[in-house]
Homo-oligomer: A and B are copies of this chain.
């Protein structure tokens, strides 16, 4: 049988109310009584029924995250973010409710469900879209949330990485190594950071007086296969690039694969760079030049912010922008082309 307040009350010959208050630490309870209650509770292994508590208190001490199913394999990004969020949630005594969903429509429904069904106190939204309906929904519902990523969907608390600066650093680095034929594998256009990183790319080129070439721009889907296919397309151009930047590391790794398949030595015949600095990036052959997003820390900070929002505490900094760091490794090394 489940141990409830009632069980303890009977055992102690007290009312449920008193037991509840004794356990909750109210100071209008006789110390002697409290001791007895606590004793019995421990002896019986009492654990409050959280469903009941939540129903009453409208609080769950749980935060939610929806994860697109496809990302599991193709993309270490979410796992790392999850780690950070989960770690910090534990710090606050919060649990983390995960809902894995097909991206798109399903995903939005999952948010609706999570939020409206009162299972969570707040949500972390990752990888923001243009005109993100999830954010529109959360804002309208006035439900606490923090996003990883800016958007054009109005004002809301977010933490983001300055992808423009990161990408510009990357281009500058390649230019310094003597590259003038720099291609870009874009991420899907509906992701906000794509436009930001693209802007960094064009600014970087502009600084060096290099015009943007349309045939050096290919879009792929963040996956390794996508990156591989995109790189193949670039490398069959009549005037192929000497350097390829991918909008994330996973696609960059795919591009390295493509280069290998064509007999090119990455870092010598062809420079390749990524974005993210996932754990794997340091271990590819050759190691991958990239821009470090401290995703784990971002997860932790996002959760910090979320807790503040949940508690209606003011955010001293509702919009955090983190400057990413260029990590130069061998994939853009070797001699100049």
Q: How many angstroms between the C-alpha atoms of A279 and B79 in the bound complex?
A: 13
Chain A, residues 118-145, CB within 8 Å of chain B (1/0): the string is 1100000000000000000000000000
The answer on a CB contact under 8 Å between A87 and B69 is yes
Please tell me if the beta carbons of A117 and B73 are within 8 angstroms of each other in the complex. no
Q: Contacts A79-B83, A279-B280, A285-B285 hold; do A117 and B48 have CB atoms under 8 A apart?
A: yes
- What are the residues of chain B within 8 A of A18 when measuring CB–CB? none
When the two chains form their complex, are residues B98 and A98 in contact, meaning their CB atoms are under 8 A apart? yes
**Is A90's CB under 8 angstroms from B86's CB?**
no
Is A60's CB under 8 angstroms from B51's CB?
yes
What sequence of 0s and 1s flags, for each residue 279-292 of chain A, a beta carbon within 8 Å of any chain B beta carbon?
Answer: 11001110000000
Q: From known contacts A45-B116, A49-B55, A283-B283, infer whether A98 and B100 are also in contact, taking CB-CB under 8 Å.
A: no
Residues from chain B with Cβ under 8 Å of A50 in the complex: 117-119
CB of A132 to closest CB in B, whole Å: 18
Beta-carbon contact of A47 and B79 below 8 Å = no
| Chain B positions within 8 Å of A2 at CB level | 116, 118
Given B76, B99, B113, which contacts A90 in the complex, CB threshold below 8 Å? B99
In this assembly, does A9 line the interface, its C-beta being within 8 Å of a C-beta of chain B?
Answer: no
Min Cβ gap A143→B in Å is 11
Contact of A72 among B51, B52, B73, B83 (CB under 8 A): B83
Complex Cα gap A69–B83 (Å): 9
Are A90 and B101 in contact, CB atoms less than 8 angstroms apart?
A: yes
Please, how many angstroms separate the alpha-carbon atoms of A279 and B83 in the complex?
17
A182 within 8 A of B: no
Q: A79's closest neighbor in chain B, by CB? A: B79
Nearest B residue to A98 via CB reads B96
Cα separation A44 to B100 with both chains bound (whole Å)? 26
- CB contacts (< 8 Å) of A83 on chain B: these are 72-73, 79
> How far is the CB of A56 from the nearest CB of chain B, in Å?
9
Q: Does A308 contact B (CB under 8 A)?
A: no
Once the chains are docked, how many angstroms separate the CA of A54 from the CA of B52? 8
Q: List the B side residues contacting A89 at CB < 8 Å.
A: 100
Residue among A83, A100, A118 with the most chain B CB within 10 A? A100
Q: Which chain B positions have C-beta within 8 A of A115?
A: 47
A89, A280, A296: which has the most chain B beta carbons within 10 Å? A280
Report the minimum CB–CB distance from A75 to chain B (whole Å): 11
Which residues of B lie under 8 Å from residue A97 when comparing CB positions? 62, 95-98
Residue A37 interfacial (CB < 8 Å)? no
Is the Cβ of A72 less than 8 Å from the Cβ of B86?
yes
Q: How far is the CB of A113 from chain B (nearest CB, A)?
A: 6
* Residues B86 and A98 in contact, CB atoms below 8 Å apart: yes
Q: Is A213 an interface residue (CB 8 A)?
A: no
CB-defined A-B contacts under 8 Å, sample of 13: A47-B117, A51-B51, A51-B55, A52-B55, A69-B87, A72-B296, A73-B83, A87-B100, A90-B99, A96-B97, A97-B97, A280-B280, A283-B283
Q: Which 5 A-B pairs have the closest CB atoms?
A: A47-B116, A51-B54, A90-B100, A50-B117, A72-B83
